[in-house]
Structure 1
Amino acid sequence: MTEQEPAETPDDLSPRHRSYRGRLLVATPLLGAGPFFRSVVAVLDHDAGGALGVILNQPLDAAVSDVLPEWSSLVASPSAVFSGGPVSADSALAIGVMTSTGVEPPDGWREMYDRVGLVDLDLPAAGTHAGLRGVRVFAGYAGWSPGQLEEEIAEGSWVVADGFAEDLLSPNPEALWRDVLRRQGGDLAMLSTFPDDPQMN
């Protein structure tokens, strides 16, 4: 991901055709319960046809070693399969982070942005580690139809923030929602202290 810049709020959005590829979507309390509650989503693709991303902070009970054993040595800790989103939750996709730009990518690599790309799980894992800092395996993904993501951002459901490639491989994904908000500073850092249940505040 790119160098950190101030996060965006609905008041300072660019025109609707702006792409949020490579940015983080941080769920606000407006989303409430559901698959995106306190989620942090990495936007992998976004154009006039809609948007695609994966939730970074929802590890599942399933271990990669149980479902894709040959890939387990490449997976960053925690070595769980993550819930990537509610779309096609019965299928798996892998996101990889390269060690640096300019490194020869592995076979089957599909670059999404910067050092982040899709890894082809149908290819043998042997030899794929070259140039890869780590891999995360997701069950399903998050998808938005044309204009839907822009509408959700405008209504305040998401904070758009810059992030880092390392966010995809965070060793403590459960803390990612608060961590990303805290590093934005100001009112967004305060949002990180919002209780899970406001009635318990």
Structure 2
Amino acid sequence: MGNVYNFSADRLFVALERGEPAPGMLLVSAPDIQNEDYTRSVILVVEHNEAITLGVNLTRRSEIAVFNVLPDWISAVAKPQALYIGGPMNQQAVVGLGMARQGVDIAATPFLKRLAPRLVHINLQAQPEEVAEAVDGMRLFAGYCEWAPGQLDEEIEAGDWYVVPALPGDVIMPGRADLWSDVMRRQPMPLPLFSTYPAHVEDN
């Protein structure tokens, strides 16, 4: 039965109409994605052009407290105040993402770059106190995901990813939340049916 479920999921993701990758869009991994590093992943696209696609995985919380590595940012970081692993590339680099406060003029705030309504990429050269006043919360991600020209398109065509708009709260979901299931649940049918798909099918 598990093999039939996997096969059906793969065919479903290939057949579904999907959005185009762009900054502010999410890449939601297929239930049966072959690359186990991306099982139940939700990746926010930060940059997408002809040369490269960069994204940050929103689902991988580390055991490292922000206080232990970047204590100046504690006032701005949402709970749980842990460093997240944004992807396998350049994990010495830290990416800041957040949800702007209501009424903040993102275009007039030099350290914020709009990705979607209230969803921002944060320039970490800014003062943490300034950022804390401009956002309702943020996360810090070590590393990022990267695709070469054409690579992501091939993976989407193969049914590995479903492309959907992000909500600003996606970047600061509570630690107890299952973001992959939540994003699946808010999509048109039949995707909500897969929101309960287990992480390890062989255990069911």
Distance 1:160 1:173 in 2: 24
The alignment of Structure 1 onto Structure 2 pairs a total of residues equal to: 191
Question: Structure 1 residues 39 and 145, CA, compared in 2 at 3 Å: closer, same or farther?
Answer: same
Aligned to 2:53: 51
Q: Does 1:26 align with 2:28?
A: yes
Q: Is the 8 A contact 2:75 2:129 kept in 1?
A: no
AA matched with 2:62: L
Check 1:197–1:9 CA distance in 2 against 1; reply closer, same or farther (3 A cut): closer
Greater mean deviation of Cα atoms: 37-46 or 123-132 = 123-132
Q: CA deviation at 1:32?
A: 3.6
- 2:133 aligned with 1:143: no
Of the structure 1 ranges 103-112 and 177-186, higher mean CA displacement relative to structure 2 is found in 103-112
SS of structure 1 residue aligned to 2:74: helix
Residue deviations 1:29-76 (CA, integer Å, cap 9, x gap): 332453311111111121212211111111100111111111011001
Counterpart position of 1:72: 74
> Displacement, 1:19?
4.1
Please state whether the residue corresponding to 2:37 is helix, strand or coil.
coil
The verdict on how the C-alpha distance between 1:46 and 1:101 changes in structure 2, with shifts beyond 3 A counting, is: farther
**Code of the aligned partner of 1:193:** T
Cross-structure match for 2:115: 112
Report the more deviating stretch, 135-144 or 96-105.
Answer: 96-105
Report the 3-state secondary structure (helix = DSSP H, G, I; strand = E; otherwise coil) of the residue aligned with 1:26: strand
The verdict on how the C-alpha distance between 1:112 and 1:123 changes in structure 2, with shifts beyond 3 A counting, is same
User: What is the one-letter code of the residue matched to 2:59?
Assistant: N
Partner Cα separation in structure 1 for residue 78 and residue 187 of structure 2: 25
SS at match of 2:199: coil
TM-aligned CA distance change 1:67 to 1:107, over 3 Å = farther
Partner of 1:155: 158
Structure that is richer in helix per residue: 2
What letter is aligned with 1:39? S
Partner SS state of residue 128, structure 1: helix
Paired AA for residue 71 in structure 1: W
**Preserved CA contact (<8 Å) 1:56 1:173:** no
What runs of 5+ residues in structure 1 fail to find an aligned partner? 1-7
| Aligned partner of 2:88 among 65, 86, 89 | 86
CA distance in 2, matches of 1:173, 1:142: 24
TM-score using structure 1 length: 0.84
Whole-angstrom distance in 2 between the partners of 1:170 and 1:180: 11
Q: Which moved more, 1:62-71 or 1:169-178?
A: 169-178
Q: Which runs of 4+ in 1 moved over 6 A?
A: none
| Equivalent residue number for residue 167 of structure 2 | 164
What's the % identity of the aligned pairs?
Answer: 32
**TM-score for both structures, normalised by structure 2:** 0.83
